[in-house]
Amino acid sequence: MPETSLTSLIEKYLHLQEQKRKKKIRTLKKETIFAIVLVLVASFATDYFFSIDLGLLYAILAIAYLIYTMITRYNKYKSEYTESFIRPLMKHLIPAFDYSPKEVVKRELVVNSGIYPTKFNIFKGEDLFSGKIQGVNLGFSEVSVANEEKSRGSNKRSAPKYFLQGLFFYMQGNFNHYHPFYIRTINTTISIHAKAKGPFDFKKKIRLDHKDWVTRFELFVDDDNSQIPEVSLELFTRLQRLEELLMSVTPLAHIALSVKPHFISIALQPIKIFEPPILKNALEHQEKLECNLQIIEELISLREFFAN
């Protein structure tokens, strides 16, 4: 696909999106002013006509109205952004994929990756893309995986510990020529719980001899008797490219690759690829969006690498 074609398409949709964004912001400003006026009227009425309790009730209702309006407007704006921008753009980029904006990759796929704990009580996500290319099922979506436990001696739950907040990509096919292995990037700036203290299906760490690899990646196999995988220079080069693209979006980049005979998965975090621009001009969103689309193209191109 010609790069100029994709760039011109992005520019076209972003201009339309910016017009919608400005309209939504104007509407939200009017509703905010209206809510503030209601609060001021309630305050004035409390001093001259009503009791304090009744005036406070009016103020609370005005603030509740504003919050409800903001949430409703945002959800509607995001839905419009998804249907009028993301769907046609991704159809142009990956026409063989189906798009389900309110769905997420299956929970068992994340568990089967062997990267994260098998028990967690928070699993949510959106923007599911799935398709089939030359006999290989592929898919990805934004996913949040966390565990929230009750505090000792209390019914209150502790703050959730997130294992994954980002993009989960998977491939299902015949990869029997690969012995199971797991690679993750080393990033000292990301919180340790984001790595989930795993991987859970890969117990033995293998020393990397390449000087450029040992400072950027960690390699694991499933047990002590496993054959050491032949990990090619091309794969590490591809992962480095992914890491560089991800770090251009967020400095806290972390990549986890799990390879099994019939299942390959990659988790990228923290990243939200399809988050609509709200406060900033939509046109300023172009560079980030193009980078995110490059990340998706890099992920899909891994099918050819592992199929060979």
The residue with greater pLDDT, 122 or 65, is 122
Q: What is the spatial order of strands in the sheet that 97-100 belongs to?
A: 97-100, 122-133, 136-147, 161-172, 263-269, 254-260, 181-185, 217-221, 204-206
Q: Which two tokens stand for residue 211?
A: 């000087």
Tell me: the pLDDT tens digits for 172-228?
Answer: 988 777 778 888 887 644 444 444 455 566 667 777 777 767 777 888 887 655 556
Cβ–Cβ under 8 Å, residues 165 and 144: yes
Tell me: the pLDDT tens digits for 242-260?
Answer: 888 888 877 778 888 988 8
pLDDT over 70, % of the chain:
75
Task: Label residue 299 by pLDDT band (50, 70, 90).
Answer: very high
pTM of the shown model: 0.78
Q: Which two tokens stand for residue 208?
A: 């990397």
Tell me: the pLDDT tens digits for 135-175?
Answer: 889 999 999 888 877 666 666 667 777 888 889 999 998 87
| Residues contacting 232, CB < 8 A, separation 6+ | none
Tell me: the pLDDT tens digits for 80-93?
Answer: 778 877 888 888 88
CA pair distance 293, 167, nearest whole angstrom: 12
Most trustworthy range by pLDDT among 160-164, 230-234, 236-240 = 236-240
